[in-house]
Every structure is written in C-alpha cells, then in structure tokens.
Structure 1
Amino acid sequence: MGLQFGILCFPDVQQLDMTAPYEVFASARGATVQLVWKNRGPVRSSTSLGMTPDVSFADAPAFDVLCVPGGGGVNALLRDEETLDFVRRQAQMARFVTSVCTGSLVLGQAGLLSGRRATTHWNAHDLLSAFGAIPVKERVVRDGPIITAGGVTSGIDFGLAVVAELLGREEAEIIQLTLEYAPAPPFDAGTPETASPAVVAAAKARIARSRAEREALIGITS
C-alpha cells in the first residue's frame, strides 16, 4: 500500500498552505492524499475558495503524514479540543506530523513542539516559544518526527522535503521538475529582512487583529 497523506481542511484555512503541499504529495508515486475535517461538509478558505473534505475525523485512517496548514482559522483551532485530540491521536501513529505556516501553533497547542526545533510564518515566529519550542528561522525544519515549514509558499519546499525523506531525492526532483518549480519572484519583498520598512508596517497592520487574538489565546501580553 502506498503512502497516505492527510491534510487538515478547516474553515478559514489559508488555501495555499494546504494546496501547495497537496499538489506535491499527490504527485508522488503511489501516494494517496485526503483532506480531513470533523465532517465532510463544504469548507471555505480564508479567501473564500470552496473545498470538500474527503474524510471525517471519525473515519480517517492512520496517516503516514499528517499536515496542518495555517491561516486565520488557526485561531479557532487553538481552543478546539476535538481537533487537538485528533492531531494528538494521529501523532501516535504517523511517521511525520507536520505543519505549514501558522499550522505549527496547532502542533504547539497539542503539546507536540515542547523541546523541539520549529518554524512558522514570520509574524508568528516569536509565539513558538510559548509552547516550549525552539524557534528556528529556516524555511523547513525537521526535529525527529515533526516537520514544520515557514509561511505559505514554503509549503512547496516543505512538500518536496517530505517526499525526499520518504521516497528519496530523485522522486522529489522529478516532482519539482514536473511542476516547473523554479521560483524567481518579481520583487525581493518575501521576508521582513528584504522588504521595505513601509511594506513591513503595512503587512503587519493588515494581519494585526489575528495576531492580537492569537496572543490572547496563547496567553501572551504585548
């Protein structure tokens, strides 16, 4: 039987956090990828893309890899014991439990990051310490069975890294070539270190409300 990947598909998920690794995993030979949520009802992403989960928590198999994407909907998951329990149960069986972007906060809330190196979106990076994690500013970080990725577009890098771990570098490179993944962004503004101060300030202002809510949920005072 081929590898089974499960990707959490929840309301207000950042769709590229989910669909980028989905595309990579689904391109791996013999792989099965399923979107999983509490039920199989339609779900809308933070940008209103409609999606339908393939399997419910109750019917989900023991995945080889569980991936938790990020997005605005992560805030609700931080206080959602049903989802946190599902992640914990899968962690007992999976070869890798993983996250993209702020999905790492869910892993932290589930108690899976204590003492482990981890990364996340730049605007949530400092929050990792609240879960006992060791924040690392890298695009993809592996610490034992836990693999975390940075913000949004790092989901492609992450997906390729996971495939390389499970099926070897050649399979990952075949997928990379098939997807023509050779990024050459038109602007050098992809990190706070390279973006202008004005752009950084505007980006922080745009996501300030979600950040404040996360601080309150985690118990951090600014």
Structure 2
Amino acid sequence: MRIDVLMFEGVAEVDALATYAVFANAKRRGVGVDPRLVTADGATTVKGCYGTTFSELEPWSPETAGVLAVSGGWIEEEIARGVIPAQLAAAKQTAGPGMILAGIDSGAILLGAAGLIAGRPATTHRPGYDLLRAYAEVIDARVVDDGDLVTCGSGWFAGVDLACWLLERELNATSEVVALEQWIGRDRQGTVWRR
C-alpha cells in the first residue's frame, strides 16, 4: 500500500515525519507499505514551520496511493490561499472512494477546507476545534476513524498513533506494531473512536 505524506511550505515537521517514520519502520519490518514524502504541486523542496528544509520530495500519486496523509502546520495561510484545499479536492476526486484520507493534527482542517469531510466526525489539535467545527463534527478523541477518513489530534505524536492504527486496521500488522512500539519506547495513547 502506497502512503503519500503531504509536504508543503509551513508543514509541521513532527506531524509529517513522526507519521512517515512509523510507516517507514513498518516497511523495514516487512509490512507491505510504501511511504513517500510528497508535494501536490511537484515542488521538490519545502520549508517546514520551524525552518527545516526538506528536499528530494516527489509528486504525489492520488491514482496509486492507498492513503493520503495530510500534515498540519501553518494551515490558516494555506486555507486563505486556497491552493492546497483545491488540490486536495482534486486528488480525492481522482483517487475515488478507495483512498483513505488521514488528517494529522491540523491537517484535518485542511481536509475540511477542501470540502472533503463535511459533517463527518473528525478531530484535530485541541486549539483548532473551533476551526474544525466549520467543516466537521468535532470528536474529542486521540484518533477518529470514520472509514475512509481517519484523523488524529491532541499532540505532537498523535500521528504515530494514527499510523499504528492504520497499520493494524488495513494490514493486520498488530505484532509488527507492538514491536515498533517497543523499538521507539512509546505505547499508543488514547482510544480510537469509531462510529
């Protein structure tokens, strides 16, 4: 399963990289995932919200990605520009219902601005609940699973919990996730909310 982790100017480094690292570690353990750090506009370099430069990024592939993970970051600027929300809407239309949208922290709000989660249950970083309410039914949970929409919030490492949940749910990789938790020295937090 190809997993595209979206990078953009002002992306939150921890959101993107912690999530990516879980999938990359799972791949090293033989789980059938292929994580990529991607951009929607073909840019090969972006700068994160804390000034980290990421290079050698590749274009996303909505046609082949099983998961599109949208990181948080300086999202209010992106919503005002409107470019990334439009790109997300187009990507989901191209991919169809088979692609899972994963909102990492405030990335869920970008999905909302794209019109992709209207009225659906979702979560985000707690300070962003009011922003998310404009687009979704806010659920105060670590991970919210609504089928082809999975969101997480409440802290820098929520993306780790989201990634572990997707590995378990989609690929039945429970033993690999347990080994991964032991490797990184951190157990998952919170309960996965499901309808």
TM-score by length of 1: 0.73
Equivalent residue, structure 1, for 2:5: 7
Matches within 5 A, 1:194-209: none
Equivalent residue, structure 2, for 1:19: 17
Q: Is 1:43 matched up with 2:41?
A: no
Q: Determine if contact 2:45/2:57 at 8 Å carries over to the other structure.
A: no
Q: Determine if contact 1:34/1:53 at 8 Å carries over to the other structure.
A: no
Q: Determine if contact 1:84/1:110 at 8 Å carries over to the other structure.
A: yes
| CA distance, structure 2, for counterparts of residue 163 and residue 127 of structure 1 | 29
**Cα deviation 1:46-78 (Å, max 9, x = unaligned):** 111111253225x66531000111112x12321
| CA distance, structure 2, for counterparts of residue 111 and residue 95 of structure 1 | 16
| CA distance, structure 2, for counterparts of residue 10 and residue 67 of structure 1 | 12
Q: CA 1:183–1:56 in 2, change beyond 3 Å: closer, same or farther?
A: closer
| CA distance, structure 1, for counterparts of residue 21 and residue 164 of structure 2 | 10
**Cα deviation 1:73-103 (Å, max 9, x = unaligned):** x123213444223322332424310111111
Equivalent residue, structure 1, for 2:176: 171
Match of 1:95 among 80, 92, 99: 99
Equivalent residue, structure 2, for 1:134: 137
Aligned amino acid, residue 87 of structure 1 = L
The structure, 1 or 2, with the larger RCO (C-alpha pairs under 8 Å, 6+ apart) is 2
| CA distance, structure 1, for counterparts of residue 139 and residue 188 of structure 2 | 23
Structure number with larger C-alpha Rg: 1
Q: Please report how far the alpha carbon of residue 41 of structure 1 lies from its aligned counterpart in structure 2 after TM superposition.
A: 3.1
Equivalent residue, structure 1, for 2:124: 120
Q: Determine if contact 1:62/1:90 at 8 Å carries over to the other structure.
A: no
| CA distance, structure 2, for counterparts of residue 165 and residue 130 of structure 1 | 29
Question: Unpaired segments of 5 or more residues in structure 2?
Answer: 190-195
Q: Determine if contact 2:62/2:92 at 8 Å carries over to the other structure.
A: no
Aligned amino acid, residue 12 of structure 1 = G
| CA distance, structure 2, for counterparts of residue 174 and residue 56 of structure 1 | 31
Equivalent residue, structure 2, for 1:181: 186
For these two proteins, the number of residue pairs brought into alignment is 179
The two structures, once aligned, show a CA RMSD in angstroms of: 2.1
Equivalent residue, structure 2, for 1:34: 36
| CA distance, structure 1, for counterparts of residue 166 and residue 104 of structure 2 | 12
Select between 165-174 and 75-84 the one with higher mean Cα deviation.
75-84
